[in-house]
A and B are shown apart, each in its own frame.
Chain A
């Protein structure tokens, strides 16, 4: 079966750095996405990785290793507004998006 694993919840301090991991087992691979979702709102796009390596976009970076079936989202200089759920999703060989359950990130002052 297809599976996306990510931690259920993480806590970090304002101003710090946090890394949210995602491991996947899917039938084929056509890209990995990270989305941010605040409570009661729809997801918003953060990043897209299709090749191995690190993609940096401001305070957020996303890393992919296809051989290991592994990705992480790195958030730097954490702000209170970063408190949200972070969803990892993989597009499989049929271009279907397989979603992780999301990681709830709690930022403390």
Chain B
């Protein structure tokens, strides 16, 4: 199946700094990428939907100025957590779909665990 790579897998940063997480589709062109956040023992929470070349669509309650999403190419989307605080510590997961999003499978990256001290 298609491969989505996410980097870094783990990141620890100080409060107030910014962290960038990359999500790459390795063997397909991802017209749409999704960014999720998952707190311990909870399900996935969609943060935003990103289409290549256009602005991301954020879910209600997600601060677009805090979570900057860039989808500049068909194989790369980035999530930047700006001015991170301890409450931003979470597991961030990206996913991507190839072509039109009605054929089934959504491919996930490995996830990035962010710890803000």
Q: Which residues of A contact B (CB under 8 A)?
A: 30-31, 33, 40-45, 48, 87, 95-97, 99-102
Distance in Å from the Cβ of A75 to the closest Cβ of chain B?
19
How many chain B residues touch A (Cβ–Cβ < 8 Å)? 21
A-B Cβ contacts below 8 A, count: 41
Q: Which residues of B contact A (CB under 8 A)?
A: 1, 6, 34, 42-46, 91, 93, 101-102, 104-111, 113
Q: Is the CB of B108 within 8 A of A44?
A: yes
The contact sample of 6 A-B pairs, CB cut-off 8 A, is A42-B108, A43-B93, A45-B1, A45-B107, A95-B101, A97-B106
Main secondary structure of the interface of A (DSSP, over half): loop
Bound CA–CA A87/B101 (angstroms):
19
Given contacts A87-B44, A97-B34, 18 further A-B contacts (CB under 8 A): A31-B102, A31-B104, A40-B91, A40-B111, A40-B113, A42-B6, A42-B93, A42-B111, A43-B44, A43-B108, A45-B1, A45-B105, A48-B104, A95-B101, A96-B46, A99-B43, A99-B44, A100-B43
